[in-house]
Structure 1
Amino acid sequence: MGKNRYVGSWSESNFVEIDWSFSKENLVDLLKSVVNKTNQYTHQQICNWCDKHYMKYLNEDKLGDEKLYGILEDISAQWDLYLANTFSLKELQHLDFSKIKLPIEWFEGWLKELT
């Protein structure tokens, strides 16, 4: 995600992007992997994947499943808000974002909305 678009004065630590195409099935698989504790990706990577695909949706003609893209938007926004509301600016400027975990209940809720 790079520079936070809500707070603006901190940048996330580097990470390897998830190289999966966008589909509802891939999103469900990512969310299930967190809920089932089998995830090979960090929450940072998953949230970035959601943000990337949501931004693509915004820049297109907005064709597609609005509910699905609403969930992508929520995941992306909740990541940024969680960071901003949980850590001080000084902490954020030196934080290893790959270690941050959002509440599992959020992933369960997003998964429930999709299935």
Structure 2
Amino acid sequence: MGRNRYLGSWTESNFNEIDWSFSKENLIDLLKSVVNKTNQYTHQQICNWCDKHYMNYIDKDGLNDERLYGILEDISAQWELYLANNFSFKELHQLNFSKVNLPIELFEGWLKELT
């Protein structure tokens, strides 16, 4: 993800991007994998996948599922807010972001909104 676009200027540690195309079903599968504790991807990877697809959405006209894209935006924003609220600026510059986990309740809520 590079620089934080919401709250400051830290750079996330490197990660491998999730190579899945965007679909509601893929988003549900990613969220379910966290809730069911079967995820093969880190929260960092999942949140950045959502951010990437949200940024693609806002660059295009005619996409009509505002609720779905609102969830993508919320996932991306909650990741940034969680980092900013739980780590000092100094810690963010040294943090291994792949070890950070959002509260499971967030994933449960997003999944509930989608299903």
CA offsets 1:66-109 (integer angstroms, 9 cap, x no match): 10000000000000000001000000000000000000000000
Secondary structure in structure 2 of the residue aligned to 1:93:
helix
Partner residue in 2 for 1:17: 17
1:66-81 matches, within 5 Å, as 66-81=66-81
Q: CA deviation at 1:63?
A: 1.3
Partner residue in 1 for 2:85: 85
Distance in 1 between residues matched to 2:62 and 2:113, nearest whole Å: 20
Aligned pair count reads: 115
Partner residue in 1 for 2:108: 108
1:4 aligns with 2:4: yes
Distance in 1 between residues matched to 2:65 and 2:54, nearest whole Å: 12
Identity of aligned residues (%): 82
Distance in 1 between residues matched to 2:62 and 2:20, nearest whole Å: 20
Give structure 2 stretches of 5+ with no counterpart.
Answer: none
Partner residue in 2 for 1:45: 45
> How high is the TM-score relative to the length of structure 1?
0.98
Secondary structure in structure 2 of the residue aligned to 1:5:
coil
Q: Which moved more, 1:2-11 or 1:14-23?
A: 2-11
Q: CA deviation at 1:6?
A: 1.8
Q: Which moved more, 1:1-10 or 1:67-76?
A: 1-10
Distance in 2 between residues matched to 1:40 and 1:64, nearest whole Å: 30
CA offsets 1:30-60 (integer angstroms, 9 cap, x no match): 0000000000000000000000000000000
Q: Residue type of the partner of 1:12?
A: E
Structure 1 residue ranges, 4+ long, deviating more than 2 angstroms after superposition: none
> How high is the TM-score relative to the length of structure 2?
0.98
Distance in 2 between residues matched to 1:70 and 1:7, nearest whole Å: 19
Distance 1:58 1:36, change over 3 A: same
